Structure 1
């Protein structure tokens, strides 16, 4: 895209803001509770999980601790399967779990809640006016008032420490449209593409997020400034970056934001993002991580404002590099690699009030725990232990407040004692459903691989498991590829739901997942059809030897890279499996190289383009593409895919299905015309689960 065209478009992009205080919502207590999608009242039969039960859980989102550390503000999303809709509401609770109160009861979506005015007010996003805008209310839910009217809505926001200014995220046009170029063709639907990264995950890149700064007074915004005015760059970064990529300094004079200041082909080939400082008074922008070549994201100022912490990857083009914790002394510019001697990723973190300690979230051996990091000594000390995953961390009064889940429980909020790691659940959002369910045991097994290493494999047993009986088993193949099979809870790949349908689930942490050191994580790059596939077979072979596993009724499933694994194993399993199911999987690696969007991913993991005949790694990769083994397919296979998936195009699934049909292999395809790489709509999710079990039951159950 030409920069001149971008600047012209930017100059015409306007913000429409309210000039007077806007309408108020009535207090929450006067709302008709029956009108809003809320907590499910489902009754569970026989204690067994079903897809309908799975979609009845409340899903806890963002969690914010009040300035005095006494209360927790959080959001919960509910699902209405019949209406095929979701709804998000806001709650507040004391950090000891008492005095829980629902603050909103509407079918508008309230989200992104934050404490402002030193805890005297709450700000949040709501789409009640037709687009996502900032609202404020009292801590008891009364006095709701909209304070913005930004054209096309706001995607996230954060108030300055003194509440006199606000940062907000809004999408701006990044391309001249056909209608603008050719006004006489108002009904033309074509897109004109001149450069790479024209699509991303599930959308065409026609808008990008920018950060805006505004003054707040009398419940309205004035003096609005685009921090990236006339810059064709994202901040925060697509597709997953949000408000966590922005930060205010404690004195409100500096804004830190994350951006990868590249466009087109350069953007598609590089992961080199940086942390930028914006001086509020002068408007000057400074790159604080110049020369650090990988992802640098998620800045946080220390409470005294003297230091900056952030997450950093080292190598450009490697999106699964070690996620390191760095701290910079802002007076000297000295950078300190805090987790240098800790061989695991930093997944999330928060400063302690002493300005010397950082509490972080890290996955170690497929359990995600809370740790304490001394930024001077670089000593990393575990705080928690157990069979679970912590997902977030925030600072309470002498405690940590964190979301936690496991394979047997969706996210709930816990208060964690710093002295001994003792965790106490305080939210109990889903207790009324969990109390009705019987889950199977989740066993941690260490299995020897073909090269003599030990591999942690989760084995999930059916509820009321009887070791004297023989069960069918499913091998679960992880996506990513570099995602740990931790104690995760999923609304699509829920291992307890699989177990509830009478299957023993085998979930290996094969080569190429974090949580077991960098060597284990990095082995998979350039070796897609190699050691990790042997690891999968080692795991299923070990379980097939058990008397309670029927080795004649083994299935295999997975999504994304897991879907690739299914396709690969379908041609290389030596008749171990009796049925396969692949979702959003890569079938033809040569086609995938030119169909995908983030080229850094394809270059790093595949080794490079298939036409580079001098590149041994690339040639090895493409020689082991699943489509090259279709002549060996001999087992029923089901394929599912979403047509909005621009990471792995639906054509990959269609090719695999067509190949199976032409070879006479029993096969089925489930295509979602309105889903992306995931399945997000409630009824589509239920449909997926029903077809998943209909397929495996057909081939693996008598």
Structure 2
């Protein structure tokens, strides 16, 4: 039913209500009038609206689980920055109350049994009780603290800070040349993500702690060129205290230089405060091992683990070990999916986790056996189901779990998941009033037969007031990763609600390489980048093109990272299907990319190895976009970040130069201060305007 039809029904209902004189009918009339006004005042979402949404973060639960602490970041266009404050709200329902309002972002460290909220603010530890007392600054440490974790007995602290290990920067190596700016390297890992390696490494420090006073600190990696938390995205989750406060765990990849750049082997180390001895708890486990969490009793430790060194998108499993006997069990090794994150139940008898499945991310549970040496396989149960993502678990409370959740049409909010009814109930509603202003965009699932006969699932988002009798321009979205899931997540840049609101149908195929459809489906993209995954994209768009409402003369392909690679690849093999392309930070020349990217373990595993190894000819010849430029003839917009070291700037420059010299309508949008993403609000607005401006020009 379209907008006019719905409005007609509402008006007819209103006419009926107006004919009644009873008071309750007058109330119905008032409510109906309000609904009609709201409906008439709805408008399509704009890119400015997107940045006016509050960004919600779950910060923690009170000891009894009755109060949620959450953060909301609001962006200021005038100042081009965000301001984050903390709020409290009952988990069983209520109204959020402001907890902090100082200028600058606060983040919760922990909430004590006395309901004291310990939080970081401007690098120092503060305390404020949930009852509303005045905040108290506890520490005054020069240079500030980061990634703080207090021991359970509150007598010790672990935190991180940078330590100069290697004099890679000229100002450190030649102290008399203070105006120089030169980097000197003897090995790889000379830059990572968006930063040069100046020889400084994040190290974990342990110290005594009493009423905000920090004693003499011990560097747990003293003199060693290793990172903990892990670079570039590790945080306080890389640290955890044993419940008896006698030892602390930290995650580290103890590799350096070339070995660091070609390996994913992180391990979990335990430092004993009394003996000062460090032991490797995951020795012999060769992939990523991280996110260690003890159960409340402290007799079991669980962590996330991948098996294969160098395979950064390997199946993620939950490992549990008995702290006394040392017995170890892979809880999810028999399960044909991969885990995103997990938490223990309060009683320590089960583990709740979230994982991608069938185009969404859902909540699961697995019982932890009393005997970890059992041969029977633990039963895994899916708890939630619906057209939404459960993106994270905050904790357990009366009646259920507090979780974060998104949809393609709704940014993160926090919910209570009822373990009996299996339903989500909103706790926070930060953006409800803003979303109520926007015309709705319908999201549906769709199955297509892929070229090899497999079932291929896609999400399809339709414009507001979609009318199947009309024809619409259509966008094929190509996901990055390449092994990232296309689910019901919400992006503040690649926002499909925003795209649909501008009048486009958007299709998002769950092509080969995406988790949620079995480990084989997820793994099949490795060493086949330009093969079946690209054919999956073509199958999805060819199927959608059969619908009468798709304007086959106005179809575009868009994407970032591997999605940008897909756009470059499609530009050479699409056979006239597309009228416009947009690639953001895409891989264009696989040889030069291999020679300049920083995480070589990724390139070695997914591409098969270096381009000079002739066994990899298929990757660097058949699946290399630059080898197909003879067929390029379609307008293309190229975005590129200047500080993107994952897909360095030359990739976008090479592609743009090819398009220009071939006389193809093309545009290069260079963001010198951005990395693989776009983080500045003003830059993001430029990105959106160029994105939609290009589509108007070319579709």
**1:152 is the counterpart of 2:143:** yes
What is the CA–CA distance in structure 2 between the aligned matches of 1:668 and 1:579, rounded to whole Å? 12
Q: Deviations over 1:506-558 (max 9, x none)?
A: 10010011111110011110011100000000001111110000011000100
| Residue correspondence of structure 1 range 318-337 to structure 2 within 5 A | 318-337=311-330
Aligned residues between the structures: 651
Task: Using the TM superposition, give the Cα deviation of residue 170 of structure 1 relative to its aligned residue in structure 2, in angstroms.
Answer: 1.8
Aligned to 2:334: 341
Aligned to 1:606: 607
What is the CA–CA distance in structure 2 between the aligned matches of 1:330 and 1:499, rounded to whole Å? 52
Aligned to 1:39: none
Secondary structure of the equivalent of 1:684? helix
Aligned to 1:286: 279
Task: Using the TM superposition, give the Cα deviation of residue 63 of structure 1 relative to its aligned residue in structure 2, in angstroms.
Answer: 2.7
Task: Using the TM superposition, give the Cα deviation of residue 113 of structure 1 relative to its aligned residue in structure 2, in angstroms.
Answer: 4.4
What is the CA–CA distance in structure 2 between the aligned matches of 1:580 and 1:687, rounded to whole Å? 18
Task: Using the TM superposition, give the Cα deviation of residue 69 of structure 1 relative to its aligned residue in structure 2, in angstroms.
Answer: 1.2
- Paired residues of 2:54 and 2:72 also in contact (CA < 8 A): yes
Q: Deviations over 1:607-636 (max 9, x none)?
A: 1000112x2x45444432101111111100
Task: Using the TM superposition, give the Cα deviation of residue 665 of structure 1 relative to its aligned residue in structure 2, in angstroms.
Answer: 0.1
- Paired residues of 1:610 and 1:618 also in contact (CA < 8 A): yes
Distance change (3 Å), C-alpha of 1:339 and 1:280: same
Question: Which one is further off, 281-290 or 531-540?
Answer: 281-290
What is the CA–CA distance in structure 2 between the aligned matches of 1:325 and 1:509, rounded to whole Å? 25
After TM superposition, the score normalised by the length of structure 1 is 0.91
Choose which of 185, 193, 204 in structure 2 pairs with 1:193.
185
Aligned to 2:631: 632
Secondary structure of the equivalent of 1:465? coil
Runs of 4+ aligned structure 1 residues displaced above 4 Å come to none
| Residue correspondence of structure 1 range 38-187 to structure 2 within 5 A | 46-116=42-112, 118-127=113-122, 132-176=123-167, 177-187=169-179
Secondary structure of the equivalent of 2:566? helix
Aligned to 2:264: 271
What is the CA–CA distance in structure 2 between the aligned matches of 1:135 and 1:530, rounded to whole Å? 54
Secondary structure of the equivalent of 1:55? helix
- Paired residues of 1:408 and 1:496 also in contact (CA < 8 A): yes
What is the CA–CA distance in structure 2 between the aligned matches of 1:240 and 1:671, rounded to whole Å? 24
Task: Using the TM superposition, give the Cα deviation of residue 194 of structure 1 relative to its aligned residue in structure 2, in angstroms.
Answer: 1.0
Aligned to 1:691: 690
**1:555 is the counterpart of 2:547:** no
Aligned to 1:390: 390
- Paired residues of 1:526 and 1:621 also in contact (CA < 8 A): no
Task: Using the TM superposition, give the Cα deviation of residue 356 of structure 1 relative to its aligned residue in structure 2, in angstroms.
Answer: 1.9
**1:497 is the counterpart of 2:501:** no
Secondary structure of the equivalent of 1:591? helix
Q: Deviations over 1:131-153 (max 9, x none)?
A: x2222222245322322333433
Task: Using the TM superposition, give the Cα deviation of residue 45 of structure 1 relative to its aligned residue in structure 2, in angstroms.
Answer: 6.6
What is the CA–CA distance in structure 2 between the aligned matches of 1:666 and 1:438, rounded to whole Å? 34
Task: Using the TM superposition, give the Cα deviation of residue 106 of structure 1 relative to its aligned residue in structure 2, in angstroms.
Answer: 2.4
Q: Deviations over 1:631-687 (max 9, x none)?
A: 111100000111010110111101111110000000011111111100000011111
- Paired residues of 2:475 and 2:505 also in contact (CA < 8 A): yes
- Paired residues of 1:202 and 1:676 also in contact (CA < 8 A): yes
- Paired residues of 2:529 and 2:619 also in contact (CA < 8 A): no
Aligned to 1:623: 622
Q: Deviations over 1:402-444 (max 9, x none)?
A: 1000101100000111123211101111111111122211010
RMSD: 1.5
Secondary structure of the equivalent of 1:360? strand
**1:566 is the counterpart of 2:559:** no
Gap runs ≥5 in structure 1: 1-42
